């Protein structure tokens, strides 16, 4: 049987590696279990959402900006400098009913005195081949992250979705785009009345009702130049010329393995109290698997720091 780890951190985004940095400097000898690098279709790709973000201009300490994959490489190197160990594997089964906790990835397993869940959340996508081809070429899943980039400035932009997130993103994008079209498959928004009223008062926002995206144009050109839209009521197909598109149909936390093990909210996000404590003593959580409001690299890193400190203090109270 493998030795019992002091602390196992599940994930490999900003929360996970910040937790690893703090806990390794506290001499806890943490083990990070990240996803497998060849599983490019998985939402919990090693490095998290920053691995599909070309330019990060809002992370402190990088006045000229930094590419998302490079930033995650630096996170990992800094954690490893202080002794963090990293192994790859998709955690698909956990037993948190007793200590030491047991974590499994296929036929491999680990035991841990304490665990930090930092598995992140993935943006929901339309599932189109053209969408994938134009990622970071005028197509994004986060207006707050990417909206201020030069590629989107003074362009007619589109936001796909009809909930609060979509309206928040559309409103934010009016600071940079010349016009923002909200494309929604229904004839009314799902967003709160306050958000709807705010959007309707904004002269830069227009609504495209009863429409779904059949294709993002144009992979052949190598950048977003428009959307092929289909009216769900009439079947009519038309092209909406835009210079950028933001998919805002929601996020899904990567917490399937923890159902029935720790308390989750109705959307699957891990519930925490007193900082990063979950419903299971000795299990902590941070980052986008907890946070469905801000979803930023800097907030995830902060939550990773909190989780590491909470885990260190809890382990100390247990006698190491």
Catalytic residue among 142, 291, 305, 310: 142
| Structural tokens at position 144 | 């707050």
Catalytic residue among 44, 92, 107, 145: 145
How many Cβ atoms from other residues are within 10 Å of residue 218's Cβ?
A: 16
Q: How far apart are CA 60 and CA 135, in angstroms?
A: 24
To the query of whether residue 187 is one of the catalytic residues in this protein, the response is no
Who contacts 94 (Cβ-Cβ below 8 Å, separation ≥6)? 101, 102, 103, 104, 115, 257, 258, 261
* Partners of 277 in beta bridges: 273, 284
Catalytic residue among 3, 38, 95, 146: 146
Q: How far apart are CA 241 and CA 185, in angstroms?
A: 18
Q: How far apart are CA 133 and CA 33, in angstroms?
A: 29
To the query of whether residue 142 is one of the catalytic residues in this protein, the response is yes
| Structural tokens at position 211 | 């429409």
Q: What is the dihedral of CA 287, 290, 295, 301, to 10 degrees?
A: -20
Burial class (CB in 10 A: 0-12, 13-18, 19+), 208: middle
SS3 label, residue 65: coil
Residue 252 Cα to chain centre, angstroms = 8
Q: How far apart are CA 2 and CA 202, in angstroms?
A: 60
Q: How far apart are CA 34 and CA 28, in angstroms?
A: 18
Of 205, 209, 196, 136, whose CA–CA distance to 177 is shortest?
205
Name the CA radius of gyration of the chain, rounded: 21
Query: Are 133 and 219 contacting, i.e. CB atoms less than 8 angstroms apart?
Result: yes
Catalytic annotation, residues = 142, 145-146
């Amino acid at each position: 049987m493998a030795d019992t780890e002091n602390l196992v951190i599940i994930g490999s985004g900003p929360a996970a590696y910040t937790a690893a940095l703090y806990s390794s400097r506290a001499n806890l000898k943490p083990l990070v279990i990240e996803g497998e690098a060849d599983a490019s279709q998985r939402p919990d790709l090693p490095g998290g959402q920053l691995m599909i973000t070309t330019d990060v201009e809002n992370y402190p300490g990088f006045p000229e900006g930094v590419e998302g994959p490079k930033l995650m490489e630096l996170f990992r190197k800094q954690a490893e400098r202080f002794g963090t160990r990293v192994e790859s594997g998709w955690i698909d089964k956990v037993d948190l009913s007793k200590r030491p906790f047991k974590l499994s990835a296929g036929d491999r397993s680990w035991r841990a005195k304490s665990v930090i869940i930092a598995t992140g959340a993935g943006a929901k996508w339309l599932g189109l081949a053209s969408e994938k081809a134009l990622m970071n070429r005028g197509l994004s899943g986060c207006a707050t992250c990417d909206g201020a980039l030069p590629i989107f400035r003074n362009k007619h932009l589109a936001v796909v979705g009809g909930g609060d997130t979509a309206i928040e993103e559309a409103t934010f994008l009016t600071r940079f785009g010349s016009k923002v079209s909200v494309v929604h498959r229904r004839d009314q928004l799902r967003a709160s009345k306050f958000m709807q009223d705010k959007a309707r008062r904004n002269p830069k926002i227009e609504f495209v009702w009863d429409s779904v995206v059949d294709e993002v144009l144009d992979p052949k050109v190598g950048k977003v130049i428009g959307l092929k839209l289909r009216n769900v009521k009439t079947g009519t197909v038309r092209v909406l010329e835009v210079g950028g598109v933001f998919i805002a149909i929601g996020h899904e936390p990567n917490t399937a393995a923890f159902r029935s093990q720790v308390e989750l909210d109705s959307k699957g996000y891990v519930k925490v109290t007193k900082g990063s404590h979950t419903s299971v003593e000795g299990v902590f959580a941070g980052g986008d698997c907890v946070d469905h409001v801000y979803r930023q690299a800097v907030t995830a890193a902060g939550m990773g720091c909190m989780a590491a400190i909470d885990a260190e203090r809890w382990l100390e109270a247990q006698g190491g």
